[in-house]
Structure 1
Amino acid sequence: MKKWRPFATMSEQYIGLKEIINKQVEVAQPVLTEEQIEQMNFTLIEALHKNKQVYLTYYKRGQCITETEFIQFVDSLGDVFIFIDDIFKLKNKMRLSDLIDVRLA
């Protein structure tokens, strides 16, 4: 795909090539076992009670993203948790089903 970039002189061509490149990079969301989900829940609750920092790996728009966060709230019945971004100190809300991995920092 890199060899076609010099030909992207019109903005429509550039947008089209960018979409094609992004689709090639996309990965399917991994399917987790019940054991993995249970282990992630235990790690989230431990991080919440001990106020420990965690490495969150989650799936978003075809990519697996890993960030360092602090857990603030976990609602396993509502499939949601709230975490505080380590860099900007902002509260974020995410579905538990989007999580791929949780590790204590």
Structure 2
Amino acid sequence: MIINPDAPDPYKYETDYRKVPRQYLNPRIPHGRGKIKWQPFATLPEQFETIKQYMHDQNKVERPLLSDDQLNELNCQLHQALHHNRPVQVEFFNDGWIETITLEISRIDTLQLFIEGHTQTNPQTVKLSLLDITRIAQIEH
């Protein structure tokens, strides 16, 4: 059976239209809808935002639980940093993420459970909850 009767001999029996030059193909064959067929999937931008948020939330971690010994060690390190005016690197839990900040501690409020301090680059006061602190490291000079 001859597929393309008007084409030269090498292309008469070719069944894959991609291997036949365009001038030998039937011009009445429709080209399809192209990119238009994908348009319905772009009508729900809220869905894309929701999926992106799920992917972002998937990497979050739970608040670490510290033992009594670890809490006592953190307490000692905080008080030493406060009394010696040493900057410390504080690792803390923030909305599913573990973040790190370098602080010079100016105040420890044990009643409301927070510390105040400031970074070396920014003189504004930073407040951190004592419940969110996971690790404290002394900075060596």
Partners of 2:133 and 2:42 in 1: how far apart? 36
Deviations 1:58-78 (A, max 9, x none): 001100001111111012233
Q: 1:23 to 1:8 in 2, by over 3 A?
A: farther
Corresponding residue to 1:65 among 84, 94, 99: 99
Deviation at 1:17, TM superposition (A): 2.5
Which structure would you say has the larger Rg? 2
Deviation at 1:94, TM superposition (A): 1.8
Corresponding residue to 1:22 among 56, 71, 94: 56
1:91 has 2:125 as partner: yes
CA RMSD of aligned residues (A): 1.8
Structure 2: which 5+ residue stretches go unaligned? Answer: 1-40
- Number of corresponding residues: 99
Partners of 1:62 and 1:32 in 2: how far apart? 16
2:89 alignment partner AA = Y
Deviation at 1:11, TM superposition (A): 3.9
1:104 has 2:135 as partner: no
Partners of 2:78 and 2:132 in 1: how far apart? 14
Q: TM-score, normalised by structure 2?
A: 0.63
1:54 has 2:91 as partner: no
1:38 has 2:72 as partner: yes
1:33 alignment partner AA = S
Deviations 1:43-101 (A, max 9, x none): 11111111101010000110000111111101223311101123322101121011101
Greater relative contact order, per chain length (Cα 8 Å cut-off, separation 6+): 1
Partners of 1:46 and 1:30 in 2: how far apart? 23
More strand by share: 1
Q: TM-score, normalised by structure 1?
A: 0.83
